[in-house]
Amino acid sequence: MTAAPSPRCDRISELTADQLRARLTEALHVYVTAMGYPPSTATQRGPMWSAHTMRPGWRCVGAFNDRDELIGIGYGYLGAAGQWWHEQVRRGLLSVGGDVDRWLTDYFELTELHVHPGSQGGGLGGEILRRLLLGAEGSTVLLSTPEGPTRAWRLYRRLGFDDVLRDYRFTGDPRPFAVLGRSLPLAD
């Protein structure tokens, strides 16, 4: 068992697919800890995260403490027809008469953004997101997040994300989610 991450961020850097795979256990630990999921969730998500690294437009940014431990992670890629998330959001938009063409054409899917709880509250999530989107392909960015007043919600609103779909239930998850989006690039 590793020690709890230090809250101080020493560096933020882009990660290659090989670098993420080398730190996948660490990245998944940040994910399950930040989301409050049981540790067994990491076993299920690991192969999916590895497969995502091969998608067009994939980008990843990691934040590290002064002991070179991963304390924050964000990644995404170009969304496309046939991908599970794309098809779920398409179904939701069609059910409410949403603008499928505007949102599901030429978009970057912000797939994961997580900061270890011991490092939250100091703007690290926002910095990871800004760096990730700085080089992202696509004319828009989309994400999904559980409904509710959270730090993530406040971050997305501060950065200009608007409602695309609200109170949506993805197949296999009973919780209500919001799909949020905005145009790219982000303003400085």
Q: Distance from first CA to last CA of the chain, Å, rounded?
A: 40
Q: What is the 3-state secondary structure (H, E, C) of 74-140?
A: EEEEECCCCCHHHHHHHHHHHHHCCCHHHHCCCEEEEEEEEECHHHCCCCHHHHHHHHHHHCCCCCE
DSSP category for residue 24 = H
> Using CB atoms within 10 A of its CB, is residue 3 exposed (0-12), middle (13-18) or buried (19+)?
exposed
CB atoms closer than 10 angstroms to residue 145: 17
31 is catalytic: no
β-partners of residue 73 are: 62, 114
β-partners of residue 110 are: 76
DSSP category for residue 39 = T
Which listed residue (75, 107, 156, 168) is catalytic? 156
**Catalytic residue set:** 156
